[in-house]
């Protein structure tokens, strides 16, 4: 097998036995990127030199057996995470020349573990979108059907894993941006509990919702990556002092004694029949593995999209105020006054979706409207949290679709932002409640597009999610399938 096609565990094994070196593995990935990224466009920036230097350092660690499980493993990082000395654009023109002076904590942890950073992968501008079509550097293609979107906003992270252009990647999830592209690209994606993973060095979109997590070829790799990034960080005041278990330890246990809730509201109107069929088949496999299922209800699910599309833009309007041409990135050179400079830099630097969000968010927070919009949305958020509390008094995890439909054709929804917002209906409630959630491949549509099954759990239930995901993966046997790329 070509090294680029490996999982973390395969490659780890081959590196440890000296069958190949980290430099050889990294070279295999860099060549693969050169070969297929012309078609897929998953990467915004590839850094050959730094990647090879990190691989050499990994080889030294491997030689004296001091490397951990990620030592020498080539990874891709969503371009929303700061990387020291490596351009970080957030998919935006406004940060087109921004080279951070420091690493995000997650990146620092991966580097310290000996991982190799191949480069930065595509995303919707400032993580706002569900199709990766809102990116100043082009739209990545779905490796399973290059006429189709790969999902978003972590579209590049999902496409790069699916196309074997990295062994695993990191994404971020504010309203579904890890789980949804993972589902569309047939890879595993996990959004950890809010507070599990440090966001220091993550360019903030909506701070009460954002969370970083892995996208991988299988569930075991997902557990390994999660162990690589989890844990308390004094540099992020929202990071929690929760102990970090070995997430790989209990994967292979069966699901006896586990109760999985099936939320009625996730199987309602607008759900594509092929998605429903694949998800229900996945649920049957979970039952075969020993889980009991119960019907549960999360009655406020339908208000999630409306609440999120007020809360997230409100927070974004504040977070994005820092991009004003003074400290970072693009600055208009023709302005004569400070006011003009702010206005023109932001007008030129931001794309249409980001502008729309800033305007909605500023409006929702303005005095006189605050109670009607932001406060109301926050109250709905509390109701959604209550729904989950109630559901988790009856079950350990929830199983459902991730998205109502498989990936759509590129351009099909470009002039209908509302349709795209509505497609987030099944991932958003999870973020509003700060819960862990995961997408595991569970099938394909007749057209050959991947379909994911979503697992959600109460706070800190990552081990259970991974165990259920692993059981599902074993019983479906889909994780070795690869897209038909030339
Ligand atoms: N699709 C959602 C949005 O556009 C979620 C994005 C995300 O999770 N970053 O806001």
pLDDT tens-digit series, residues 50-76: 999 999 999 999 999 888 899 999 999
Q: Which of 125, 128, 421 to mutate to test the pocket of ligand 1 (most atoms within 8 A of CB)?
A: 128
Q: For residue 178, which atom of ligand 1 is closest to its CA?
A: 8
Q: How far apart are the CA of 178 and the centre of ligand 1, in A?
A: 9
Those residues whose C-beta lies under 8 Å from the C-beta of residue 35, and which sit 6 or more positions away, are none
Closest-CA residue to 304 (of 219, 186, 184, 430):
430
CA atoms of 425 and 441, how far apart (whole Å): 19
Res 29 pLDDT > 80: yes
**Verdict on whether the full-model pTM lies above 0.75:** yes
173 lines ligand 1 (CB under 6 A): yes
What does pLDDT average to over the chain? 97
| Any atom of ligand 1 within 6 Å of the Cβ of 170 | no
Which of the four pLDDT bands, split at 50, 70 and 90, describes residue 398? very high
Q: Give residue 452 CA to ligand 1 midpoint distance, Å.
A: 17
| 359 C-beta neighbours (distance < 10 Å), count | 12
Mutation test residue for ligand 1: of 122, 130, 212, 408, the one with most atoms within 8 Å of CB: 130
Residues 6+ positions from 42 with CB-CB distance below 8 Å: 76, 121, 122, 140, 150, 155, 156, 157, 159, 160, 163, 165
Cβ–ligand 1 distance for 455 under 6 Å, the answer no
* Residue 340: pLDDT over 70: yes
Residue among 427, 475, 483, 481 nearest 282 (CA): 475
Residue 42 has pLDDT above 80, yes or no: yes
Task: Find the range with the poorest average confidence among 351-360, 408-417, 461-470.
Answer: 408-417
Distance CA 175, CA 285 (A): 27
**What is the atom index within ligand 1 of the atom nearest the CA of 177?**
8
Give the residue, by CA position, lying nearest to ligand 1 atom 5. Answer: 175
- 425 Cβ closer than 6 Å to some ligand 1 atom: no
Over residues 243-250, the mean pLDDT reads 95
Tell which one of 81, 135, 152, 311 to mutate to probe ligand 1, the residue whose CB is within 8 A of the most ligand atoms.
Answer: 152
Cα(330) to centroid(ligand 1), Å: 24
Residue 486: per-residue pLDDT: 62
Ligand 1, residue 127: give the atom nearest the CA. Answer: 9
pLDDT digits (tens, 9 = 90+) for 297-324: 999 999 999 999 999 999 999 999 999 9
Residue 159 CA to residue 120 CA, distance in Å, equals 12
Backbone φ and ψ for 470, nearest 5 degrees, come out as -65, -45
403 lines ligand 1 (CB under 6 A): no
> 290 CA distance to ligand 1 centroid (A)?
34
pLDDT digits (tens, 9 = 90+) for 88-119: 999 999 999 999 999 999 999 999 999 999 99
Residues designated as active site:
78, 153, 177
**Of ligand 1's atoms, which has the minimum distance to the CA of residue 130?**
1
Q: Is the pLDDT assigned to residue 123 strictly greater than 80?
A: yes
- Looking at ligand 1, which residue's alpha carbon is closest to its atom 10? 128
Q: What values do phi and psi take at 102, rounded to 5?
A: -150, 165
Task: Tell me what the mean pLDDT of segment 289-293 comes to.
Answer: 98
Query: What is the number of the ligand 1 atom nearest to the C-alpha of 128?
Result: 4
Kindly indicate the confidence band of residue 328, based on its pLDDT and cuts at 50, 70 and 90. Answer: confident
Which ranges of 41-96 does DSSP label H, i.e. alpha helix?
A: 48-63
* H or E element at residue 390: helix 376-391
Please provide the distance, in angstroms rounded to a whole number, between the alpha carbons at the two ends of the chain. 16
Query: Would you state the pLDDT for residue 415?
Result: 86
| 126-138 pLDDT per residue, tens | 999 999 999 999 9
Instruction: Name the residue with tokens 């310290």.
Output: 112
The residue written with tokens 């090294």 in the block is: 3
If you search the block for the tokens 């000996």, which residue do you land on? 114
Q: Establish whether residue 21 lines the binding site of ligand 1, counting it when its CB lies within 6 angstroms of any ligand atom.
A: no
Q: pLDDT over 90 for what percent of the chain?
A: 96
Residue that the structure tokens 């030199």 belong to: 49
* pLDDT value at residue 51: 98
pLDDT at residue 203, as a whole number: 98
Cβ atoms of 74 and 3 closer than 8 Å:
no
**Helices (DSSP H) in 260-302: which residue ranges?**
273-288
3-state secondary structure of 443: strand
The first and second tokens of residue 26, run together, are 């990294």
């Amino acid at each position: 097998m070509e090294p680029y096609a490996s999982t973390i565990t395969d490659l780890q094994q081959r590196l440890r036995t000296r069958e190949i070196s980290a430099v050889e593995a990294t070279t295999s990935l860099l060549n693969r990127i050169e070969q297929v990224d012309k078609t897929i466009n998953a990467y915004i920036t590839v850094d050959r030199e730094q990647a090879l230097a990190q691989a050499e350092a990994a080889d030294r660690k491997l030689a004296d057996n001091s490397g951990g499980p990620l030592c020498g493993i080539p990874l891709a990082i969503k371009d929303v995470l700061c990387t020291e000395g490596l351009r970080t654009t957030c998919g935006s023109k406004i940060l087109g020349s921004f080279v951070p002076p420091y690493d995000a904590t997650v990146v620092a942890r991966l580097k310290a573990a000996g991982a190799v950073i191949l480069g930065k992968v595509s995303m919707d501008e400032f993580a706002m979108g569900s199709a990766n079509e809102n990116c100043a550097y082009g739209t990545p293609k779905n490796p399973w059907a290059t006429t189709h979107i790969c999902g978003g906003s972590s579209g590049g992270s999902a496409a790069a894993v699916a196309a074997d252009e990295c062994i695993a990647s990191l994404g971020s999830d504010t309203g579904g941006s890890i789980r949804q592209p993972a589902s569309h690209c047939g890879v595993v994606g996990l959004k950890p509990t809010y507070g599990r993973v440090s966001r220091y060095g993550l360019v903030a979109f909506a701070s009460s919702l954002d969370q970083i997590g892995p996208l991988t070829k299988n569930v075991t790799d997902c557990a390994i990556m999660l162990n690589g990034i989890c844990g308390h960080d004094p540099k992020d005041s929202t990071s929690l002092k929760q102990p970090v278990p070995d997430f790989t330890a209990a994967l292979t246990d069966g699901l006896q004694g586990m109760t999985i809730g099936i939320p009625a509201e996730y199987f309602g109107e607008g759900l594509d029949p092929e998605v429903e069929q694949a998800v229900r088949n996945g649920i049957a496999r979970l039952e075969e593995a020993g889980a009991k299922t119960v019907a549960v209800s999360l009655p406020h699910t339908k208000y999630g999209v409306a609440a999120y599309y007020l809360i997230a833009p409100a927070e974004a309007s504040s977070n994005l105020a820092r991009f004003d041409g003074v400290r970072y990135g693009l600055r208009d050179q023709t302005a004569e006054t400070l006011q003009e400079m702010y206005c023109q830099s932001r007008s030129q630097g931001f794309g249409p979706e980001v502008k729309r969000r800033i305007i909605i968010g500023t409006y929702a927070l303005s005095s006189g409207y605050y109670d009607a919009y932001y406060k109301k949305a926050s109250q709905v958020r509390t109701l959604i949290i209550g729904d989950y509390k109630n559901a988790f008094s009856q079950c350990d995890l929830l199983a459902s679709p991730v998205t109502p439909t498989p990936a759509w054709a590129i351009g099909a929804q470009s002039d209908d932002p509302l349709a795209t917002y509505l497609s987030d209906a099944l991932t958003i409630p999870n973020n509003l409640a700060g819960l862990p959630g995961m997408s595991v491949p569970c099938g394909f549509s007749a057209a050959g597009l991947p379909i994911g099954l979503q697992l959600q759990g109460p706070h800190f239930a990552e081990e259970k999610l991974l165990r259920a995901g692993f059981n599902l993966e074993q019983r479906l046997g889909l994780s070795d399938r690869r897209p038909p790329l030339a």
